[in-house]
Amino acid sequence: MPELPEVETIRRALAPRVEGRLLERLEILDPRFCAPAAPAEVEAAVCGLRVTRLARRGKYLVWELTGDTRPAEANPAEPLFLVLHLRMTGNLLLAAPGDPFAPPHLRVRFDLDSGDRVLFTDPRRFGTGVLLRGADARDAYFAARLGVEPLEPDFTPEALRALAAGRRAPVKAFLLSQERIAGVGNIYADEALFRARIHPLRPVGSLRRPQLAALRDAVVESLEAGIDARGATIDDFRHPDGARGSFQYRFLVHRRAGEPCPECAREIVKLRVAQRGTYVCERCQPRPRLRRAPARGGATGA
Ligand SMILES: [Zn+2]
């Protein structure tokens, strides 16, 4: 599943080709993409608008569209936002003018006035597109779903401490919850916890101040390393230009069960935490001690 670095990689590759361009036509081939809105309704709303910005929030890609070319009465008063989530297997590919490229599992096509086509493919069809009218609607949409943006300046050690305070959830589950920190998924949670030397089962509220500071830095470093490698190619993820990311060759622990830890050479093990396969070096990331259940009715022996 694409996480923040994969979505950011797509955004960076596409932005120079789409920003400033007219969206001449949007074709939604799979009504499930925009349900419950009707494809024709979404297509008509955005057709002929200018792409002023391709943004990202968490794992969402945001097409910002404004009117300046259609008849004045047909232009929207406020910018429209087409908010894409790739989910499990969604991907955006770019086809240059004249390129007959027709990938399988094509769900949505964006035709730009440059002749470029942006193709949304999605074998498993969980990807979604939501049309929001105006910045307030966009902000409300994200406020209901997403927490702090980890590569923005407001993701400070203090902010992480405030989010973690009093919570008993395992730190891995905490990192995966998008409403606390946006964009971190299974890969980057494992990598960040290893870098911070924190066991994924540690209750997040039990982490001490230096550990939370280390975790904050580790989340940022892991995401940035992923972006530097242009994302991880896992399952079906590809760049818009068809190239593959390389971060999977740089995983420290993720998907490396049975291999030696890069720090101490002990064997990396796979656990199940928060319903997800989780990779850990249990020497570098010591397992939390189990708190013994309170004894009932007196002595329990040593
Ligand atoms: Zn180790």
- Taking residues 185-210, report their average pLDDT: 97
Report the greatest alpha carbon distance in the chain: 84
Whole-angstrom Cα distance, residue 3 to residue 266?
A: 28
Q: Is 16 a catalytic residue?
A: no
Residue 132 in tokens: 């929001």
CA of 264 to the centre of ligand 1 (A): 4
Q: Is 71 a catalytic residue?
A: no
pLDDT at residue number 281? 98
CB contact at 8 A, 94 and 114:
no
The active-site residue out of 21, 56, 57, 59 is 59
The active-site residue out of 11, 53, 133, 276 is 276
DSSP β-ladder status, 276-280 and 269-273: antiparallel
Q: Is 5 a catalytic residue?
A: no
Among candidate residues 229, 284, 277, 275, the one with its CA nearest the CA of residue 251: 229
Beta-carbon count within 10 A of 56 CB: 20
pLDDT for 273-300, tens place per residue? 999 999 999 999 999 987 665 555 444 4
Q: Where are the beta strands (DSSP E) in 45-139?
A: 49-57, 60-66, 80-85, 91-95, 106-112, 117-121, 128-133
CA of 168 to the centre of ligand 1 (A): 25
CB contact at 8 A, 190 and 285:
no
Q: Please give the share of the chain, as a percent, with pLDDT higher than 90.
A: 78
CA of 4 to the centre of ligand 1 (A): 26
CA of 259 to the centre of ligand 1 (A): 11
Beta-carbon count within 10 A of 152 CB: 11
Whole-angstrom Cα distance, residue 149 to residue 139?
A: 13
pLDDT at residue number 246? 73
Whole-angstrom Cα distance, residue 210 to residue 235?
A: 36
Residue 203 in tokens: 């209750």
CA geometry: angle at 133 spanning 131 and 135, to 5°?
115
Q: What is the distance in angstroms between the CA of the first residue and the CA of the last residue of the chain?
A: 47
pLDDT for 117-130, tens place per residue? 999 999 999 999 99
- Residue for token pair 């049309």: 131
Q: Is 3 a catalytic residue?
A: yes
pLDDT for 18-44, tens place per residue? 999 999 999 999 999 999 999 999 999
* pTM of the entire predicted model: 0.90
Q: By three-state DSSP, how is residue 69 classified?
A: coil
Element (H, E) at 210: helix 209-228
CA of 285 to the centre of ligand 1 (A): 7
The active-site residue out of 3, 8, 64, 191 is 3
CA of 85 to the centre of ligand 1 (A): 35
CA of 200 to the centre of ligand 1 (A): 14
pLDDT at residue number 241? 64
pLDDT at residue number 157? 96
* More confident site: 246 or 203: 203
